[in-house]
Amino acid sequence: MHHQPHPIAPDQVLTAAQMRDAEQRLMDAGTDVHTLMQRAGRGAAEWVWRIASGAPVTVLCGPGNNGGDGYVIAETLRERGFPVQLVAALPPATDAAKRAASLYSGPVVDAAEAKGTVLVDCLFGSGLNREVTGVLRDMLHELSARHHRRIAIDLPSGVATDSGELLIDELPHYDLCIALGAWKPAHVLMPAMAHWRQARLVDIGCDTEPGGARLIGRPSIAAPAADAHKYRRGLVAMVAGPMAGAALLASRSAALGGSGYVKLLAQEPLSGAPADLVVLRAPGAMTLPQALSDDRIAAVLCGPGLGRDHQARERMEAALNCGHPLVLDADALTLLQLADRADRTDRTGPLVLTPHEGEMAALEKSFGLSGKGTKPCRALCLAQSAGAVVIAKGADTLVASPGGALAYAPPSPSWLSVAGTGDVLAGLTASRLAVTGDPFRAATEAVWLHAEAARRTGADFTAAMLAESVRDAMCAAL
């Protein structure tokens, strides 16, 4: 039989249901569940083998296929002559797990007797559907406390696959989490993702699953065309309010993020603007709508330092009505929920919203959305209602499009949790929007560049230092 090489998709993020579909597709194509379990278990055993490097391993197995993986891991280690013992918290209940258990020929011990250095947690994986309580919870806690190192297979037992919520009290911390077949939302969502130091993916041959989300990877940014000039490279108009600092930060990262020209439309006289930033008072010689009618503008940014009074609202409405591709951030998001519904939905041009959790909840309220469900579902829902690309910020930033595309940021430095970094992200987003004209691409590129700038700034930085590092991040993506 002729086999097409399958496109491995190491950056796809699949929900539990999508993962089942992906596995079903593999099985329809002739791979049985036993083979998949062998692939998953043997792949995971490679990592366990490296981490344990000869130290005794305890494998904790549950009743489902996650437990089945555990039997394969234990047998693989035993075959290699590793000291391994297995605790069966519950007997295997699926056919694949029973078969894997029958092929394991090492010691099975009671939890109380298990003494090792490395715990491999195969109690529950993507089939966890309720709280882990009672004896099983106590067993996981006690074994975790007794082993120096802990490895979670697919997910720690006590994590909801699609939401990243915890379904156990006091989930242990793990040295490593080994995702099987594809990343799941819980690998890139809080609070789950704070419970391991490192994560690795084991390929089991899954193709790209239609409708799956992806991890945001390094963008590939092109140098300006040979005949480029400042307008063709993208003119960003920054609609500023009374807090000039935020507008200056956003303008700086917009300037370093690839656009050819940043014009700051100031509300008040501005001191301390750098020499390479063009500042225009509007209203001054021109009203703000007049300044925004310049058809060379490729993207408008409104929100950082805007304020929330009636003047701020007028300025935001001018930005909404100008028809250019638009990024709304910070105060503009708060004002948007107060604006008339028509203001929000009559726009046809590209629109990007950048809410953090509080702003997200306010926007949901103003769009009549329930705010219930997982973070990715909420972001997709808001994106669809607002007709906007949504960057849902936080320690687990993700990007959702009105058409249903979803992209997750890989874990980024926690040093980003300082005032002003949102302004830097907003400026970058506007810059990438001005360059690419594509709001989803702009948002994902900006999210990656923002995290990369943070990695390159190191520890304990200010937002102004982060904005300067946007230049280094751009170099890393060229």
Residues near ligand NAX (CB under 6 A) are 23, 33, 36-37, 40, 62-69, 93-94, 124-132, 136, 153-154, 180-181, 204
Tell me how far, at minimum, the Cβ of 120 lies from K ion, in Å. 9
State how far the Cα of 386 lies from the Cα of 72, in Å rounded to an integer. Answer: 48
Of 180 and 316, nearer to ligand NAX (C-beta) is: 180
Of 96 and 466, nearer to ligand NAX (C-beta) is: 96
Q: 305 among the known binding-site residues? A: yes
State how far the Cα of 100 lies from the Cα of 123, in Å rounded to an integer. Answer: 15
For 393, residues 6+ apart whose C-beta sits below 8 A from its C-beta are: 354, 355, 356, 357, 422, 425
Of 124 and 261, nearer to ligand NAX (C-beta) is: 124
For the window 72-111, what string marks contact with K ion as x by the rule CB under 5 A?
Answer: ----------------------------------------
**Do 9 and 44 meet the contact criterion of CB atoms below 8 Å apart?**
no
Q: 257 among the known binding-site residues? A: no
Of 62 and 420, nearer to ligand NAX (C-beta) is: 62
CA atoms within 13 A on the CB side of 285: 2
Q: 35 among the known binding-site residues? A: no
198 touches, from K ion, ligand NAX, none (C-beta below 5 to 8 Å by class) = none
SS (H, E, C) 159-197: ECCCCCCECCCCCCCEEEEEEECCECHHHHCCCHHHHEE
Name the token pair of 80: 């290699």
Of 127 and 413, nearer to ligand NAX (C-beta) is: 127
Of 65, 129, 78, 69, the closest CA to residue 108 belongs to 78
Q: 129 among the known binding-site residues? A: yes
Of 153 and 254, nearer to K ion (C-beta) is: 153
121 touches, from ligand NAX, K ion, none (C-beta below 5 to 8 Å by class) = K ion
Name the token pair of 222: 């092109």
Tell me how far, at minimum, the Cβ of 45 lies from ligand NAX, in Å. 12
Q: What's the distance, Cα to Cα, between the start and end of the chain in Å?
A: 42
Tell me how far, at minimum, the Cβ of 82 lies from ligand NAX, in Å. 20
User: If you count them, how many residues does the chain have?
Assistant: 478
Of 72 and 282, nearer to ligand NAX (C-beta) is: 72
354 burial via Cβ count (<10 Å: 0-12, 13-18, 19+) = buried
Q: 294 among the known binding-site residues? A: no
Tell me how far, at minimum, the Cβ of 188 lies from ligand NAX, in Å. 16
Q: 259 among the known binding-site residues? A: no
Angle at 338 between CA 333 and CA 341, to 5 degrees: 100
129 touches, from K ion, ligand NAX, none (C-beta below 5 to 8 Å by class) = ligand NAX
299 Cα distance to chain centroid = 25
State how far the Cα of 94 lies from the Cα of 68, in Å rounded to an integer. Answer: 8
DSSP-derived secondary structure letter, 108: B
Tell me how far, at minimum, the Cβ of 331 lies from K ion, in Å. 43
Q: 43 among the known binding-site residues? A: no
Beta pairing, strands 297-302 & 12-13: unpaired
Tell me how far, at minimum, the Cβ of 48 lies from K ion, in Å. 13
Tell me how far, at minimum, the Cβ of 123 lies from K ion, in Å. 6
153 binds K ion (CB under 5 A): yes
Tell me how far, at minimum, the Cβ of 109 lies from ligand NAX, in Å. 21
Select the residue interacting with K ion from 121, 329, 331, 359 (CB under 5 A): 121
State how far the Cα of 21 lies from the Cα of 408, in Å rounded to an integer. Answer: 21
Whose tokens are 């979803």? That residue is: 406
192 touches, from K ion, ligand NAX, none (C-beta below 5 to 8 Å by class) = none
Beta bridge partners of 59: 86, 120
Q: 394 among the known binding-site residues? A: yes
Q: 321 among the known binding-site residues? A: no
Q: 138 among the known binding-site residues? A: no
Q: 128 among the known binding-site residues? A: yes
Largest CA distance in the chain: 85
Tell me how far, at minimum, the Cβ of 216 lies from ligand NAX, in Å. 24
**Do 387 and 345 meet the contact criterion of CB atoms below 8 Å apart?**
yes
What DSSP string describes 391-420? EE-STT-EEE-TTS-EEEPPP--GGG-STT
131 touches, from ligand NAX, K ion, none (C-beta below 5 to 8 Å by class) = ligand NAX
67 touches, from ligand NAX, K ion, none (C-beta below 5 to 8 Å by class) = ligand NAX
**Do 176 and 152 meet the contact criterion of CB atoms below 8 Å apart?**
yes
Name the token pair of 384: 């669809």
Of 125 and 258, nearer to K ion (C-beta) is: 125
Q: 366 among the known binding-site residues? A: no
332 touches, from K ion, ligand NAX, none (C-beta below 5 to 8 Å by class) = none
What DSSP string describes 36-49? HHHHHHHHHHHHHH
Tell me how far, at minimum, the Cβ of 151 lies from K ion, in Å. 9
119 binds K ion (CB under 5 A): no
The H helix count followed by the E strand count for the chain is 15, 17
State how far the Cα of 410 lies from the Cα of 395, in Å rounded to an integer. Answer: 10
Going by the annotation, the residues of the binding site for (6S)-NADPHX are 65-69, 125-131, 154, 246, 305, 356, 423
Residues annotated in a binding site: 65-69, 121, 125-131, 154, 157, 246, 305, 356, 393-397, 422-423
Residues that bind K ion (CB under 5 A): 121, 125, 153, 157
Annotated binding site for AMP: 393-397, 422
